């Protein structure tokens, strides 16, 4: 059997798009075929289901004890709290190996032989991990919202929680979108730094260290920039006062800020991937 | 066909590959030889577009790797057998590669069967033995039915059956008209597998010749004559321009003439001959002669030999 002749397709955007779609399908096979993915997803769900109702209980008891003003609190905000403080870190831990394990195992060489246009490999990974994080985030947020509302509907806590379907759906979608962009940011950092340890450190500093440092510094300028960090903008984007207190930018501007972070991380990751030897 | 034009790779002060010009042709197994650190793997990675050349070009079918349309249909490569995600099954590894080229899943099962991995394909690759990993790597290389195949040290660590299987596979692939480029430092194995040899040392091309020619050029290739009175033959041989060495009281080692001519000369001189045979050079010997002056990392005092 001699090698089959290859019918060449003309180079151009159609071929590039078709190859990107094929690469996305391959990345989905890669993501779903490792246990890390499903352990991470299970952990995200479990933590959401633990944290959101707990926050509901503590919020209501704080209100009953008079430590915070008594108010009607949307159940969806409990899920946002969990997404911001817990679930996003699980998503980072789930997404990083998607690129870093390729380097540590050397499998990236096989991947790049199949997809030699390097930005395409990273783009395919970004599409798949963002999609996965979105679905995972939306599912977890729905579960968290429903659970939190169920807890707040208990006679002991009754009267504080609200569940308004339209607002809850918007909140759930925003949580999914935030986690999708966090996933893309993590992927970019992983591609740029290549090691889990390095990327985790960088992301910890970016997501937590930077906003806390800026807020601690105080002053208008620091606060201004703190609102442009991923974490604080995330709180604003998911439209919560509960998780972090009021933030000075609106959900739309916050969305743009998050988009910029993920775009910047992807650009750096793609640049490093393209420049360096695999 | 693989074409290298002035291919150069520099890491800081170290010139890993030094303006290599080379054509690796289809229909034969080309052995790529050189000591460790000679630049073999770097050269292969540059052919595959994984490493960027400092200067020069590496072309497959006349084009750089990354310009190939669906490259797995052009080139298959086995670089490092262990370079697979340890938590992913062998089949999923191949399935992902297949999806990038819209190769049907059936083909994945075909290549798994071809390399004899169908039973283990659903196990996680981290549990594979080296031999199984090597077979998985070969399955990946064959996936797109490519016309060019690269193997980087394919038989390292394999048992004799595995070695023979890979040798036969490479012979078969070359026999089908494919380009087979295989690096190794196992000379005995290369002597059995390769038709053509490319030898590099310190990143530079030392030899690019058919195996037979490399062996024939070795100083070890000679005719051995055993005779009770060899001195009577020495003059006749020297007159023909042969180099003659007295290997013992009754033995001569003759280079520069074939057995037929030596036999004729002995007959003419009336010398009794007890034995007349060729002494074939091993590739090991020929290779050592070629690289003697080019070995980059020679053992120094205190280091293991």
- For residue A104, what are its two tokens? 């540590």
A203 vs A226: CA distance, rounded Å:
15
Chain A residue numbers with beta carbons less than 8 Å from the beta carbon of B74 are 6
* Residue A44 vs residue B83, higher pLDDT: A44
A258 vs A182: CA distance, rounded Å:
8
Q: Helix (H, G, I), strand (E, B), or coil: what is residue B270?
A: coil
**Nearest CB to B95 within list A2, A29, A113:** A29
* Residue A88 vs residue B189, higher pLDDT: A88
**Residues facing B150 on adjacent strands:** B77, B181
Identify residues of A whose CB sits under 8 angstroms from chain B CBs: 1-4, 6, 8-9, 11, 15, 19, 22-23, 25-27, 29-30, 33-36, 101-102, 105-107, 109-117, 275, 277-278
Q: Read off the pLDDT of each residue in A25-29 and give the average, rounded to a whole number.
A: 98
**Nearest CB to A116 within list B51, B65, B73:** B65
Instruction: Produce one character per residue of B5-31: b if its CB has 16 or more CB atoms within 10 Å, e if not.
Output: eebbbeeeeebbbbbbebebebebbbb
Q: For residue B29, what pLDDT is reported? A: 97
Q: Read off the pLDDT of each residue in A49-55 and give the average, rounded to a whole number.
A: 95
Chain A contacts in chain B segment 282-301 (CB below 8 A): none
Per-residue pLDDT at B297 exceeds 60: no
Per-residue pLDDT at B303 exceeds 50: no
Which of B66, B100, B139, B148 to mutate to test binding with chain A, by most A CBs within 10 Å of its CB? B100
Per-residue pLDDT at B218 exceeds 90: no
Task: Answer yes or no: do A30 and B71 touch at CB < 8 A.
Answer: no
Chain B residue numbers with beta carbons less than 8 Å from the beta carbon of A38 are none
Task: Answer yes or no: do B50 and A2 touch at CB < 8 A.
Answer: no
CB contact at 8 A, B80 and A109: yes
Which of A16, A113, A274 to mutate to test binding with chain B, by most B CBs within 10 Å of its CB? A113
Q: Where exactly are the structural domains of chain A?
A: 22-275
Q: CA-CA distances (angstroms) from residue A106 to A47, A83, A101, A159, A265?
A: 32, 33, 8, 57, 22
Task: Answer yes or no: do A27 and B96 touch at CB < 8 A.
Answer: yes
Per-residue pLDDT at B305 exceeds 70: no
Q: For residue A142, what pLDDT is reported? A: 97
Task: Answer yes or no: do B96 and A34 touch at CB < 8 A.
Answer: no
Q: Read off the pLDDT of each residue in B40-68 and give the average, rounded to a whole number.
A: 95
Q: Read off the pLDDT of each residue in A1-18 and give the average, rounded to a whole number.
A: 80
Note whether B92 contacts A: Cβ–Cβ < 8 A. yes
Tell me the percentage of chain B whose pLDDT exceeds 70.
96
A242 vs A148: CA distance, rounded Å:
14
For B118, which DSSP code? Answer: T
Could you tell me which of A233, A129, A223 has the C-alpha nearest to residue A185?
A: A129
Q: Which range is least confidently modeled, A128-132, A158-162, B27-31?
A: A158-162
Chain A residue numbers with beta carbons less than 8 Å from the beta carbon of B73 are 4, 6
Task: Answer yes or no: do A1 and B77 touch at CB < 8 A.
Answer: no
Complex confidence, ipTM: 0.91
Q: With the CA atoms of B119, B123, B127 and B130 taken in that order, what torsion angle do they form, in degrees rounded to the nearest 10? A: 40
Q: Count the neighbouring beta carbons within 10 Å of the beta carbon of residue B173.
A: 23
CB contact at 8 A, A209 and A231: no
Instruction: Produce one character per residue of B262-297: b if its CB has 16 or more CB atoms within 10 Å, e if not.
Output: beebbeeeebebeebeeeebebebbbeebbeebbee
Instruction: Measure in Å the smallest separation between the Cα of B72 and chain A Cα atoms.
Output: 6
Which of A107, A108, A275 to mutate to test binding with chain B, by most B CBs within 10 Å of its CB? A107
Q: For residue A3, what pLDDT is reported? A: 59
Q: CA end-to-end span of chain B, whole Å?
A: 38
Note whether B88 contacts A: Cβ–Cβ < 8 A. yes
- Tens of pLDDT, residue by residue over B263-282, are 998 899 888 999 999 888 78
* Residue B218 vs residue B73, higher pLDDT: B73
Task: Answer yes or no: do B176 and A2 touch at CB < 8 A.
Answer: yes
Rounded to two decimals, what is the model's pTM? 0.89
- Tens of pLDDT, residue by residue over B85-125, are 999 999 999 999 999 999 999 999 999 999 999 999 999 99
Q: For residue B293, what pLDDT is reported? A: 59
């Amino acid at each position: 059997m001699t090698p089959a002749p290859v019918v060449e397709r003309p180079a151009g955007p159609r071929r590039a798009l078709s190859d990107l779609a094929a690469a996305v399908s391959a990345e989905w096979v890669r993501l779903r075929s490792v246990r890390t993915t499903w352990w991470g997803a299970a952990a995200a769900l479990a933590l959401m289901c633990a944290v959101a109702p707990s926050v509901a209980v503590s919020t209501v008891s704080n209100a009953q004890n008079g430590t915070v003003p008594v108010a009607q609190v949307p159940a969806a905000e409990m899920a946002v709290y969990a997404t911001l403080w817990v679930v996003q870190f699980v998503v980072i831990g789930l997404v990083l190996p998607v690129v870093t394990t390729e380097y540590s195992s050397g499998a990236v060489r096989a991947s790049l032989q199949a997809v030699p246009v390097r930005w395409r490999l990273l783009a395919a990974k970004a599409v798949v991990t963002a999609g996965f994080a979105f679905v995972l985030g939306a599912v977890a947020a729905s579960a968290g919202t429903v659970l939190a509302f169920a807890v707040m509907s208990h006679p002991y806590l009754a009267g504080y929680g609200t569940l308004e379907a339209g607002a809850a759906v918007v909140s759930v979608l925003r949580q999914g979108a935030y986690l999708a962009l966090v996933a893309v940011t993590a992927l970019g950092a992983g591609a740029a730094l290549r090691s889990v340890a390095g990327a985790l450190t960088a992301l910890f500093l970016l997501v937590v260290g930077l906003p806390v440092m800026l807020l601690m510094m105080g002053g208008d300028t620091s606060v201004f920039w703190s609102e442009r960090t991923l974490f604080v903008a995330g709180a604003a984007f998911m439209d919560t006062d509960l998780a972090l207190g009021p933030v000075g930018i609106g959900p739309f501007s916050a969305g743009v800020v998050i988009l910029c972070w993920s775009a910047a991380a992807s650009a750096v990751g793609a640049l490093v991937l393209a420049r360096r030897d695999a | 066909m693989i074409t290298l034009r002035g291919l150069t790779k520099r890491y800081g002060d170290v010139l890993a590959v030094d303006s290599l010009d080379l054509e690796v042709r289809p229909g034969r197994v080309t052995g790529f030889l050189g000591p460790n650190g000679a630049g073999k793997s770097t050269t292969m990675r540059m052919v595959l577009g994984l490493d960027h050349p400092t200067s020069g070009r590496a072309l497959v079918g006349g084009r750089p790797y990354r310009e190939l349309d669906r490259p797995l249909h052009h080139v298959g490569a086995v670089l490092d057998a262990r370079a697979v995600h340890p938590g992913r099954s062998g089949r999923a590894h191949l399935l992902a590669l297949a999806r990038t080229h819209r190769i049907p899943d059936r083909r994945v099962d075909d290549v798994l069967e071809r390399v004899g991995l169908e039973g283990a394909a659903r196990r996680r690759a981290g549990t594979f033995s080296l031999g199984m990993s090597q077979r998985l790597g070969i399955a990946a290389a064959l996936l797109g039915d490519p016309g060019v195949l690269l193997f980087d040290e394919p038989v390292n660590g394999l048992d004799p059956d595995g070695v023979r299987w890979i040798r036969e596979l490479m012979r078969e692939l070359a026999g089908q008209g494919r380009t087979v480029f295989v690096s190794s430092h196992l000379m005995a194995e290369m002597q059995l597998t390769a038709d053509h040899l490319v030898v590099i040392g310190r990143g530079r091309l030392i030899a690019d010749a058919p195996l037979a020619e490399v062996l024939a050029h070795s100083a070890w290739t000679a005719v051995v004559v055993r005779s009770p009175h060899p001195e009577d033959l020495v003059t006749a041989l020297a007159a023909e321009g042969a180099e003659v060495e007295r290997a013992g009281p009754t033995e001569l080692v003759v280079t520069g003439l074939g057995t037929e001519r030596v036999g004729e000369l002995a007959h003419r001189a009336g010398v009794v001959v007890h034995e007349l045979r060729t002494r074939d050079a091993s590739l090991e010997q020929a290779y050592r002669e070629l690289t003697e002056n080019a070995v980059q990392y020679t053992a120094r005092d205190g280091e293991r030999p």
